[in-house]
Chains A and B, each alone.
Chain A
Amino acid sequence: MTSTQSKNSPMLAYLYVGPALFIMAIVVLYPFLYNVILSFSNMNLTHFRDWHLIGLKNYLNVIEDTKFWYFLYKTILWTVLNLFFHVGIGVFLALLLNRDIRGKTFYRTLLILPWAVPQYITALTWRGMFNSQYGAVNLILEKFFHIQIAWLSTEWGAFTACLITNIWLGFPFMMIITLGGLQSIPGELYEAADIDGASSWQKFKNITAPLLKPVMVPAIILGVIWTFNNFNVVWLVSNGGEPSDTTHILVSWVYKAAFTYFRMGYAAAFSMVIFVLLLMFSWRFIKKTRVTENVYG
């Protein structure tokens, strides 16, 4: 659009970007490099000060452990299911809220509440609600359907409990993003479609969905990353992996290895593996969708 823009003082650009990058570098760069070194070392509780490098041994330990593959499978399942429900419910509710009905503001306010309350509070609250005797979920199930589910004491019960909690936590974000995206779609497009006699589904498929894509793609990338690494919900709802360390995703398992068993080197290598997995996924996605470009880029 303008060639003057790129000419005028890149110094100013560096001045604007510099402080933010600097503060992120302190917090991220040093620990990252430290973590890389740790991942090749034998540091653990017995070798805390006299640790030395042991090569790729930690990495081999990680990928040879069947638990790694099992938790990887669980993490992928966790991420896919969460994103499916977050985006599905979020888009559905946004489309409803975008209709011309009364009480829109009222519904919108109620529906973003799960996002507004701090995560650790809601996670612990849901844990209470899944309590098999006193929890609201079972009390309601018992009253209306006469069934009781052992949520937190079975492997897949606990997984489902974490999933429900996180779906509840995550759909408002996607709803708000979609609602924002919907505002930028010109109404004339729908009018033109109406004249052509398009059905609601055709309008959604050919107008709404493609025009929402630019807004949804970055949100979905971030959503995948945040969900894949969502330590809080899994850890707090399952109380650190209960029953007997089965309810884990990769991040919560590595946290346990690091801070309960103090296997520092192993945990560092494990963290690297998680990071590389996410990196490969996201960079492909980002490159394909070109979200980093600016208006003038």
Chain B
Amino acid sequence: MANSRNLSIKGKIGTHLFLLIFSVFAIYPILRVVSISLRPGNRLLSRSLSLIPPNATWDSYIRLFTREPFLQWMGNSLFISLIVMFVGVALAATAGYAFSRYKFRGRNSSMLAIITTQMFPVTMLLLPLFIVLIALHLYDSYVGLIIAYSATALPFTIWQMKGYYDTIPYSLEEAAMIDGASPAYSFYKIILPLALPALVITALFAFMTAWSEYLVAAVLLQDTRLFTLPLGLKRFQANMEVAWGLYSAGAVLVSIPVVVLFMFLSRWLISGLTLGSVKG
């Protein structure tokens, strides 16, 4: 900010120009989906570039709610994602705190092990999962899905929480302890409230992990009534010529809650998301 006080007019125009160009690049594909979702059925494969199609219609949306089990899929996804969010926040908040504040045996190796899990290619976990499920006839259960998603969200969120705790001065806990507070008390009552921005980001990330995951769900769930949103939408996409409109309408509906949440949280993203920032 300090380096911008004497920004020339030319510099200002240039800044706006670049930001504008990239903003268009960023939102055009999203507007395109919205546009396709509003096209009438006989114009899905149109060569038009206009964003508001001629004879725009809500047909795809109406069909989604009345003729397809879209609401049910949404309910399933919401149920799974909320549980994953709570589990993720609870576990990452505590684990990140221990990594930031305590010295204990296995601390460094645990942190390395956590990031190592990110290096497994999808097949490494899916293949055994798939084989075990076939052997045990264990399809169609949410328990496995919830555990898998929580574990997927944890590595990033733990590192993220740890980085944020690192920026909170330890003197706060020291002062509390001099006043006779227990370590657990000072964590819950003093540090946790201060870490709210990071907790919000953790919650968002955990929710997103479950809300938009496709592969594991595709292996685990066979019954269409149990489908999560990504599975349901992919089904439309398999038959693109017919269901382009349905797919696009579904995509818009799936994205809206997340986008609104992101917009709401973006203030905190700036101050909070500095990943395990290094000190000293």
Contact = CB atoms under 8 A, between A and B. Distances in A.
B111 A292 contact: yes
Given A96-B19, A214-B277, A215-B277, A6 B103 contact: yes
Interface stretch (B58-66, B68-76, B143-151): B143-151
A271 B110 contact: no
A200 B15 CA distance: 14
Contacts of B20: 107
Interface in B18-39: 18-20, 22-23, 25-30, 32-33, 36
Contacts of A23: 87, 91, 147, 150-151, 154
B271 interface: yes
A192 to B, nearest CB: 10
Interface string A277-297: 011001100100111111111
A134 B46 contact: yes
Nearest to A12: B183
Interface in A163-192: 168, 172, 176-177, 179-181, 183-184, 187-191
A19 B208 CA distance: 21
Interface in B59-100: 87, 90-92, 94-95, 97-100
Given A17-B95, A283-B112, A172 B215 contact: no
Contacts of B244: 128
Interface residues of A, number: 124
A22 to B, nearest CB: 9
Interface residues of B, number: 118
Contact of A110 (B27, B33, B151): B27
Given A24-B114, A24-B117, A225-B118, A113 B270 contact: no
B219 to A, nearest CB: 9
A278 B94 CA distance: 28
Interface string A116-130: 111111101110110
Contacts of A258: 123, 126-127
A32 B105 CA distance: 24
Nearest to A114: B26
A183 B27 CA distance: 26
Contacts of B29: 114, 122, 125-126, 129, 136, 168
A117 B30 contact: yes
A267 B121 CA distance: 11
A18 to B, nearest CB: 8
B254 interface: yes
B104 A10 contact: yes
A68 interface: no
B181 interface: no
Contact of A17 (B90, B98, B125, B126): B98
B274 A100 contact: no
A229 interface: yes
B3 A32 contact: no
Q: 3 shortest A-B CB distances, which residue pairs?
A: A118-B212, A187-B2, A27-B151
Given A13-B98, A96-B19, 11 more contacts: A12-B102, A17-B110, A27-B147, A89-B22, A99-B7, A100-B7, A109-B263, A116-B258, A117-B251, A218-B277, A254-B123
Nearest to A179: B270
A71 interface: no
Contacts of B36: 128
